[in-house]
């Protein structure tokens, strides 16, 4: 079943079920989980995942729930090639936790950044906001740089370098 080139996407399957065109379904066990082949008209096609490959359900209960939700309650089951040990071995991905951690960090940063932008826009629109001229900002920055240079000079001189 993994090499089936003719597949059907989930949206098309839902439309066929609504139209009453599906005449059967077969759940096929395989190493790594369960797939489903849909029969409609004179055609048989495997259910595809979003990226076009054959959809593989790790848990039988998940597949049954999906089929029932879209309106397919009767089907045949072929567990000949199903291997529960392979499911556990093939499903483990060490990088998944790291990928999810990065995704959560990125989402948190995005949320923080958007809040900062919103706060800045509110302050800019506030009539009570005090605006500084470019010359005032340059003078303030020059004074801060001079103070930092002065501190750095004292630290270097006091450190014996």
Task: Give pLDDT tens digits for 48-102.
Answer: 987 778 888 989 999 999 999 999 999 999 999 888 776 555 555 667 778 888 8
* Residues in Cβ contact with 56 at an 8 Å cutoff, skipping those fewer than 6 apart: 30, 32, 33, 34, 35, 49
Last residue of a domain, one of 40, 59, 91: 91
124 pLDDT more than 70? yes
Contact 1, 54 (CB under 8 A): yes
Residue 83 lies in a domain: yes
78 shares a domain with 14 = yes
Residue 152 lies in a domain: yes
What's the pLDDT at 53?
82
Domain that holds residue 59: 7-91
22-30 and 33-40: which strand pairing? antiparallel
Residue 101 lies in a domain: no
86 shares a domain with 11 = yes
Contact 35, 54 (CB under 8 A): yes
What is the average pLDDT score of the chain? Answer: 86
Q: How many domains does the chain have?
A: 2
Q: Which residue has the tokens 């096609």?
A: 45
- Band of pLDDT at residue 156, cut at 50, 70 and 90: low
79 shares a domain with 22 = yes
157 pLDDT more than 50? yes
Last residue of a domain, one of 65, 91, 117: 91
Helix axis angle for 10-19 and 60-70, nearest 10°, is 50
């Amino acid at each position: 079943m993994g090499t089936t080139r003719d597949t059907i996407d989930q949206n098309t399957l839902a439309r066929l079920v609504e139209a009453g065109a599906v005449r059967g379904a077969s759940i096929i066990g395989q190493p790594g989980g369960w797939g489903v082949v849909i029969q409609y008209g004179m055609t048989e096609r495997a259910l595809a995942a979003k990226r076009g490959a054959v959809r593989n359900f790790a848990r039988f209960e998940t597949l049954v729930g999906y089929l029932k939700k879209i309106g397919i309650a009767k089907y045949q089951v072929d567990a000949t090639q199903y291997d529960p040990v392979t499911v556990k071995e093939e499903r483990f991905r060490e990088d998944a936790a790291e990928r999810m951690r990065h995704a959560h960090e990125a989402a948190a940063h995005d949320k923080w950044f958007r809040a900062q932008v919103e706060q800045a826009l509110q302050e800019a629109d506030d009539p009570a906001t005090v605006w500084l001229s470019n010359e005032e900002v340059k003078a303030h920055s020059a004074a801060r740089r001079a103070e930092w240079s002065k501190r750095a000079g004292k630290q270097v001189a006091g450190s014996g370098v």
